[in-house]
Structure 1
Amino acid sequence: MTDIDEPALALARKVLDAQPFSRLLGATVTAFGDGGATLELAIREDLRQQNGFVHGGVLSYAADNAITFAAGTVLGPAVLTAGYSIDYVRPAADGTLRARADVLHAGRRQAVVRCELLTVDADGVETLCALAQGTVRSANP
């Protein structure tokens, strides 16, 4: 993603805000367009599991939404996740959770998307927490 398309980003934010669960988590779209999307959310105490790390379900949510939003930049807004896998590489602890997704391949009705899940500290340093890959399909026949 090179240039920011402000109208497209505003629309993506509106779509995300229409999801009650996304509002509950406090997620926001920070980049959208050109086959990519980035979703971020502040790591809070109520998003942690019993060992103090961000719950895997929160990372999974972020991957799923970032993957689907990225695919939407090439397939259009009516898309659905067909499936995805996620590999956790290290616990997410503090800062901001960033899910950065990029389309690897897209056809007319389907896209394959890769997503990096990172924590970002106060200095902007990113630490990889998980990797996900998914398939997204157009909901239109």
Structure 2
Amino acid sequence: MSEIMSFAQTVFESQPFTRFLGARLGEVTSETAEIYLDVHENHKQQHGFVHGGVLSYLADNALTFAGGIALGGNALTSEYKINYVRPALGKRVIARASAQAAGKRQAVCRCELICIDENGDERLCALAQGTVVPAG
């Protein structure tokens, strides 16, 4: 396991809300971070779509991991926005984030939220962008 992945795994496992939702850390590199969630009934809203709050959590956390890696350590989200582009349907949601620009005080990051259906096909369901700053 790489040093970056080991650090990310330690941070990820220390998040109580992440454990509550059942999210998993996917691939983490020096340029990207991936978080995924196997969808269960308790992740859905009244129309059967993955709840926007669940998608928002995935985006926020993936953005912060990507930004923290770019900044070289622990980080916090300063702000982010999310655009829901279609209903989130499927058996899994993956948040794939990367830092688009990073300096000493902030990293601007982008995240795609992808739904995976029963056939393994991917479909974009939301896009997010955020600013991440060093913690502390």
Shift in Å, 1:123: 3.7
84, 88, 92: which one aligns with 2:80: 84
Moved over 3 A (4+): none
When structure 1 is superposed on structure 2, of 123-132 and 8-17 the one drifting more is: 8-17
Using structure 1 for the length normalisation, give the TM-score. 0.91
Distance 1:101 1:63 in 2: 8
Using structure 2 for the length normalisation, give the TM-score. 0.94
18, 25, 41: which one aligns with 1:22: 18
- Which structure 2 segments of 5+ residues have no match? none
Matched pairs, number: 136
- Which structure 1 segments of 5+ residues have no match? none
Match of 1:133 in 2: 129
Match of 1:47 in 2: 43
Distance 1:58 1:10 in 2: 25
Match of 1:74 in 2: 70
- Tell whether the 8 Å contact from 2:68 to 2:133 is kept in structure 1 after alignment: no
CA RMSD of aligned residues (A): 1.3
Shift in Å, 1:120: 1.4
When structure 1 is superposed on structure 2, of 13-22 and 40-49 the one drifting more is: 13-22
When structure 1 is superposed on structure 2, of 115-124 and 21-30 the one drifting more is: 115-124
State the SS of the aligned residue for 1:100. strand
103, 106, 109: which one aligns with 1:110: 106
Shift in Å, 1:10: 2.9
> 1:121 and 2:117 equivalent?
yes
> 1:95 and 2:97 equivalent?
no
Amino acid of the structure 2 residue aligned with 1:105: A
- Percent identical: 51
Per-residue CA deviation, residues 64-120 of structure 1 (Å, 9 max, x unaligned), is 000000011111222110000000001112211100001110001200000000111
Distance 1:14 1:122 in 2: 31
When structure 1 is superposed on structure 2, of 79-88 and 14-23 the one drifting more is: 14-23
